[in-house]
A and B are shown apart, each in its own frame.
Chain A
Amino acid sequence: MLGYFNPASWQFGILLGVVCVSLSSGVLSPLVVSNRMSFFSEAVAHSTLAGVALGLIMGFDPLLTMIGVGVIVALLIAALRQRSPLALDTLLGVAMAGALAVGVILFQWKVRNYADMDAYLFGRITFLTRDDVIILALVGAAAIAVLAMMWNRLALLSVSRPLAQSRGLNVGRYDLLLIVLLAVVVCVTVRVVGLLLVNALLVIPAAASKNLARSYRSMVWGSLAVAVVSGLAGLFVGDYLKLPVGPAIVVAAVILFAASQIIGLRRGRVMAEN
């Protein structure tokens, strides 16, 4: 356990990786929840397997192809949402299943390395390299910087699109920005918790915080706190009990969400009685 706090040890890199993922997902989570984009991030996550397989087949860095495929799938869904008469959840259902199926087929057909596939499905944090941690840190810092600059406009977009439009916002451009940012964060986070669980890190922090917050400011800081606490708890407890770290992080986040739900419901009942 002490190895995590020794900068010379390989475990220190893992700790940094988890902190970076927690910070970027904790900051992005309020916008994912308030813009109702959770299904969206799930679809992008499912497409990453095909991206990884393509990278391995073509001899490119899988992270680059994963981000490329993730962004393309995200933009395709966004374009279809504008033009198709079908509901968004229907389109996302098709995209999720289709992208995952293509990924599995590519792995079986050309890659044949099932340990790799397993690592991408459920995450394997011990596979994180020094380069991975640097990429996680850079993406996290970039995501936070971009969000900080655009935050209020993206939040207005989540309240009302026509209202945002009337204030001179280019709604399409901000939509695109959020979609690309979300796709990139999902792709790098997959390395830690796996594509089947990544969405939990983008939804649970803000959902848990929302249960207790009384202002937008407190929801954002609460989301960040839930993401970091569940990240660290999942890492340390998972390591101590010899559990897979990715699922342990998600379980820690779910426990925090359940606690916030209970407190929120009790508080609501007390307020209703008064």
Chain B
Amino acid sequence: MSDAVLKLDNVSVEIGGRRLVENVSFNVARGELVALIGPNGSGKTTLLRAILGEYRYSGRIDVAMRVGYVPQRLAYDRTLPMTVLEFMALTTQRLPLAFGVTRRARARGLELLARVGARKLAHSALGGLSGGELQRVLLASSLERDPELLLLDEPAAGVDIEGEKTFLDLIKTEVKDRGCAVVLVSHDLSVVSDITDRVLCLNRTLMCEGKAEDLLTAETIARVFGGGHAVYDHHRAGPHGKHDHDHGGHRH
């Protein structure tokens, strides 16, 4: 893998007879933060899941040994009585959870939660967390194996703009600055533009690639997302990230 922790060569994914991703090739270097952007249904999540090995693909994917993953959302039974610490212990201890959390798993879980500022959530019910809290817990859990590559699938979906920004700052300080490469899926380039090294635009196939400031133009946005979309800068939004929709543009 040399310096790259992720190499995709001509990757295509077909599900149920539909080709959702077509001939995608790119590399991600150690310590690099890459944003993968594109409209809904453009194949971003499908590509991420192919990298994780969940979907079959054609082409070649070389991926680092230790990969962390933060899903877009947890489609699980929210009434399941599981504490955050128990959830963290699922991957850090061999003793069946029925016998409780071991001292070692507890210490490791608390350490990881503290890293993402979520130590106080340790004894909360997983199903009772807000969107932002859950994302922090999932991030803490994804750091458990000290990953070389972290895959984040719209990590701040359902979180307000301020919460999203705080979360992305956390990714920068606690993940990227520690040498871990990050692939961040988003449909919102303006939010991730501050922290990315490189942006990949996906709409079934790779449409463009480059630095955020070069790609954040009306022409590129129209090419990737289609017509009817405009550039909107969240930094000029009102207090607490509230939108002023008078300009008539969409978030992108």
Contact = CB atoms under 8 A, between A and B. Distances in A.
17 contacts: A152-B90, A158-B76, A158-B77, A159-B74, A159-B90, A160-B71, A162-B71, A165-B69, A166-B69, A166-B142, A167-B145, A171-B54, A210-B79, A210-B80, A216-B80, A216-B97, A217-B99
B109 interface: no
B47 interface: no
Interface residues of B, number: 37
B94 interface: yes
Nearest to B81: A213
A218 interface: yes
B81 to A, nearest CB: 4
A4 to B, nearest CB: 28
B96 A151 contact: yes
Size band of the interface chain A makes with B? 20 to 34
Most chain A CB atoms below 10 A, which of B52, B53, B67, B142: B52
B61 interface: no
Nearest to B144: A167
A81 interface: no
Contact of A160 (B75, B81, B86): B75
Given A210-B81, A217-B99, 19 more contacts: A152-B91, A152-B94, A152-B96, A152-B97, A153-B90, A159-B126, A160-B71, A163-B74, A165-B49, A165-B54, A166-B52, A214-B81, A215-B86, A216-B82, A216-B98, A218-B81, A219-B81, A220-B97, A220-B98
A104 to B, nearest CB: 35
Interface string A215-237: 11111110000000000000000
B151 interface: yes
A155 interface: yes
A34 interface: yes
Interface string A160-180: 111101110001000000000
A1 B14 CA distance: 63
A148 interface: yes
A79 to B, nearest CB: 15
B57 interface: no
B151 A166 contact: yes
Contacts of A59: none
Interface in B41-79: 49, 52-54, 67-69, 71, 74-77, 79
B97 A159 contact: no
Contacts of A221: 98
Contacts of A130: none
Given A152-B97, A161-B54, A163-B69, A36 B77 contact: yes
A156 interface: yes
A33 B77 CA distance: 9
Nearest to B85: A215
Given A214-B125, A217-B97, A159 B52 contact: no
B49 A156 contact: no
A160 B52 contact: no
Given A217-B86, A219-B81, A160 B97 contact: no
Contact of B81 (A162, A166, A216): A216
A220 B52 CA distance: 30
Contacts of B75: 160
B201 interface: no
B238 interface: no
B89 interface: yes
Nearest to B145: A167
A162 B80 contact: no
B111 to A, nearest CB: 18
A215 B67 contact: no
Given A152-B90, A152-B91, A217-B100, A166 B79 contact: no
Across the A-B interface, the 9 shortest Cβ-Cβ residue pairs: A166-B69, A151-B96, A220-B98, A213-B81, A216-B82, A156-B90, A216-B86, A165-B54, A159-B76
Contact of A151 (B74, B91, B98): B98
B83 interface: yes
